[in-house]
Amino acid sequence: MPLSDAALIRFLTSVHPYDSLEPALLQDLAPVFRQISIVADDPVYALNEDLQGLYLVHSGEVEVTDENGIPVSILGPRNSFGERGLTRGGRAVTSARATAGGILLLLPKADFYTLMQMEPHVARFFDRRRPGSYDGNSLATTRVEAIMARDPVTCAGTQTCQSAAQLMRKHFISSVCVTDAGCLQGILTTRDLTGRILAAGRSASTPVSAVMTPDPLTLAPSAIGSDVLHMMMEHDIGHIPVTEDSRLVGIVTQTDLTRFQAVSTGEMVSAIARADTAVEMAKVTAEIPRLLVQLVAGGNRHEVVTRLISDIADTASRRLLALAEEILGPPPVPYLWLACGSQGRREQTGVSDQDNCLILSDDLAPGDEAYFEQLADFVCSGLNTCGYVFCPGDMMATNPRWRQPLQVWRSYFRGWIAKPSPEAQLLASVMFDLRPIGGDTSLFADLQQETLAAARANTIFTAHMIANALKHTPPLGLLRGLAAIRSGEHRNMLDMKHNGVVPVVDLGRIYALQGELAEVNTRARLDAAEAAAVLSPSGARDLLDAYDLIAQTRLEHQAAQIRAGSAPDNYLAPSSLSDFERSHLRDAFVVVKTLQSAVGHGKGMLS
């Protein structure tokens, strides 16, 4: 049923930049939008196609891919797309297709341009790259702190040029910063040594202070990448120290800029797809932490970042399967490799182990098992080499239990649903997040549908799953303040995984069971739950907003750790947040707790 103008206006007032328009303008604008019904796999537009206008997702889900067919974003309600093409001549610079049914709102091209002319703030919004879209590594939207090398090598001005040159050789660098008590005094580069020492015939014992560039041009960490590029081009320099209150905090070189612009998911996927060994792939996946930093620094939403990172794991898995078949020969019967856990949900961050399994054709003969044992060993070992470490719980295809014919998998799910023991609840929670990665997908389609129907029909099983899901609670204490971990290694920290995103992941899985929904991604499950009337519009909006804030905070925390040279984890110190951030994070946890309570008491969220 088409949306009424009143319903459309209510929706637009929840979407930026329309929420800033005058009510009278919104009244005129609402009827202009065309409403387009979509179902999964419907094409929206193709690369280089003349765009009809600006698209806005009201409900459903749309996948955007680049010119190489690589997914670059997955968009849900309140996300716009197509503006890049409209602001670059009117032709699509990406392709888009629906991945879940719903409604798209299309603002015709002429009306979009008129709105841009009438409302300068709307023009500014759409002329820049939107958060939630991905346009490669943009220097114009990335802060210097995400590009710079931290803790640069330094020396004193009193040291000799020879000792400075030895420092450069030792650290394989082309410059040293000259400091005094942490404050920047100058910079000495290999070009300075060549031109001012060797070419001038001066002694290697000359003090650094005599040949360095004093008071060099600097930038602050809050500057953007294009500032670095412009400064280098204008002044013909290749090194820019980064300072904060005169103190040296980093340096950016031409090499840093080149490396930054070279890292993109498309190139990483391409490199992995061409790799001949797991070791070659590992050189590519080693760049994932830096990719995460750049994606977050570029303003991308958490679901875009985690989707892109998960795509890399998918590609590595498929390439390892192909390499295994080259070594072992063709498989004796059809098989399907599936991921579960965060990869299955397309929610991988900078901290990921591997969770996978194999479904084999029921035509499996007694002697065929050895082939798939070797295939599983090859792929799982390769993934471990790539940094996706072995699952501590042995939830991998190398475990014979998770490498079985389809009929055995059917019996697994039937048994878990019929007798929901604590172990069955745990296993079902993991296995309900299965997603096919490589092989014969027909081995999973019927199994998923049968399992969802059986789970929904068994109220006892659903009740047990709800009880299991509620074991992960948001970190709220008395008076609903933030409650940090009380003891141990992570004392006074918030666990942003188990007490942050996992409670929402669990809720999404429960809604999927209750609504017989095939979606696996948490955000997609919440959208689908609203569309299927499992979750009320207000409940869905609140939970999506809460989830976005929690997941984004977790991702930004990991990016900050990587920038600081630390390994990313899920433990966040509340003291690192501003009062404003703590307040909003607490409110988000309250929303999650409220919805957990509603589910736990058997109350629907349809009011």
Q: Please give the Cα distance from 159 to 142 (Å, whole number).
A: 36
Q: Residue 48 pLDDT more than 60? A: yes
Q: What is the pLDDT of residues 443-458, one digit of tens each?
A: 998 888 888 888 888 8
Strand partners, 106: 34, 55
The two tokens of residue 549 are 């804030």
How far CA 76 is from CA of 110, 374, 523, in Å, comes to 25, 40, 8
Q: What is the rounded average pLDDT of the residues 18-41?
A: 88
Q: What is the pLDDT of residues 451-489, one digit of tens each?
A: 888 888 888 898 888 888 888 899 998 666 788 998 999
Q: pLDDT above 90 covers what percent of the chain?
A: 48
Nearest to 16 by CA among 111, 94, 126, 102: 126
Q: Are 510 and 465 in contact, with CB atoms under 8 Å apart?
A: yes
Q: Please give the Cα distance from 591 to 474 (Å, whole number).
A: 10
- pLDDT, residue 477, reads 81
How far CA 488 is from CA of 80, 292, 474, 484, in Å, comes to 45, 29, 19, 11
Q: What is the rounded average pLDDT of the residues 408-431?
A: 87
Q: Are 223 and 144 in contact, with CB atoms under 8 Å apart?
A: yes
The amino acid at 155: C
- pLDDT, residue 564, reads 86
Q: Residue 71 pLDDT more than 80? A: no
Is residue 77 very low, low, confident or very high in pLDDT (cuts 50, 70, 90)? confident
Q: Are 300 and 131 in contact, with CB atoms under 8 Å apart?
A: yes
- pLDDT, residue 205, reads 95
User: Comparing 204 with 269, which gets the higher pLDDT?
Assistant: 204
- pLDDT, residue 218, reads 94
Q: Residue 261 pLDDT more than 80? A: no
Question: pTM of this prediction?
Answer: 0.67
**Which of the residue ranges 76-90, 136-150, 591-605 would you say has the lowest mean pLDDT?**
136-150
- pLDDT, residue 133, reads 42
Q: What is the rounded average pLDDT of the residues 35-62?
A: 91
- pLDDT, residue 299, reads 74
Q: What is the pLDDT of residues 372-382, one digit of tens each?
A: 999 999 999 99
Q: Residue 135 pLDDT more than 50? A: no
Is residue 76 very low, low, confident or very high in pLDDT (cuts 50, 70, 90)? confident
The radius of gyration computed from the CA coordinates of the chain, to the nearest angstrom, equals: 27
- pLDDT, residue 224, reads 81
- pLDDT, residue 363, reads 96
Is residue 387 very low, low, confident or very high in pLDDT (cuts 50, 70, 90)? very high
- pLDDT, residue 499, reads 94
- pLDDT, residue 604, reads 47
Q: Are 137 and 261 in contact, with CB atoms under 8 Å apart?
A: yes
- pLDDT, residue 246, reads 86
- pLDDT, residue 131, reads 38
Q: What is the rounded average pLDDT of the residues 388-414?
A: 94
- pLDDT, residue 214, reads 95
Q: What is the pLDDT of residues 542-573, one digit of tens each?
A: 999 999 999 999 999 999 999 888 899 999 99
- pLDDT, residue 113, reads 87
Classify 177 as helix, strand or coil. Answer: strand
- pLDDT, residue 4, reads 87
**Which of the residue ranges 83-97, 179-193, 384-398 would you say has the lowest mean pLDDT?**
83-97
The two tokens of residue 184 are 């920047």
Is residue 134 very low, low, confident or very high in pLDDT (cuts 50, 70, 90)? very low
Q: Residue 184 pLDDT more than 70? A: yes
**Which of the residue ranges 174-188, 472-486, 505-519, 591-605 would you say has the lowest mean pLDDT?**
591-605
DSSP string, 465-481: HHHHHTTS--SB-GGG-
User: Comparing 234 with 532, which gets the higher pLDDT?
Assistant: 532
Strand-strand pairing, 571-572 and 494-495? antiparallel
Structural domains of the chain sorted by starting position, each given as residue range(s) with its CATH number in brackets: 5-127 (2.60.120.10), 144-253 (3.10.580.10), 263-451 (3.30.460.10), 470-600 (1.20.120)
Return the number of other C-beta atoms located less than 10 Å from residue 48's C-beta: 12
Q: Please give the Cα distance from 43 to 524 (Å, whole number).
A: 19
Q: What is the rounded average pLDDT of the residues 219-248?
A: 87
Is residue 179 very low, low, confident or very high in pLDDT (cuts 50, 70, 90)? very high
Q: Please give the Cα distance from 248 to 241 (Å, whole number).
A: 7
Output the average pLDDT for the chain: 88
- pLDDT, residue 32, reads 93
Q: Please give the Cα distance from 126 to 82 (Å, whole number).
A: 10
User: Comparing 425 with 575, which gets the higher pLDDT?
Assistant: 575
- pLDDT, residue 359, reads 96
Report the C-alpha dihedral over residues 274, 280, 281, 283, rounded to 10 degrees: -130
Q: Are 432 and 511 in contact, with CB atoms under 8 Å apart?
A: no
**Which of the residue ranges 63-77, 370-384, 572-586 would you say has the lowest mean pLDDT?**
63-77
Nearest to 475 by CA among 485, 488, 490, 467: 485
Q: Residue 285 pLDDT more than 90? A: yes
- pLDDT, residue 66, reads 72
Report the C-alpha dihedral over residues 273, 276, 279, 281, rounded to 10 degrees: -10
The span from the first CA to the last CA of the chain, in angstroms, equals 21
User: Comparing 330 with 120, which gets the higher pLDDT?
Assistant: 330
- pLDDT, residue 276, reads 93
Q: Residue 163 pLDDT more than 80? A: yes
Return the number of other C-beta atoms located less than 10 Å from residue 488's C-beta: 7
- pLDDT, residue 602, reads 67
Is residue 142 very low, low, confident or very high in pLDDT (cuts 50, 70, 90)? confident
Q: What is the pLDDT of residues 99-115, one digit of tens each?
A: 888 999 999 998 898 88
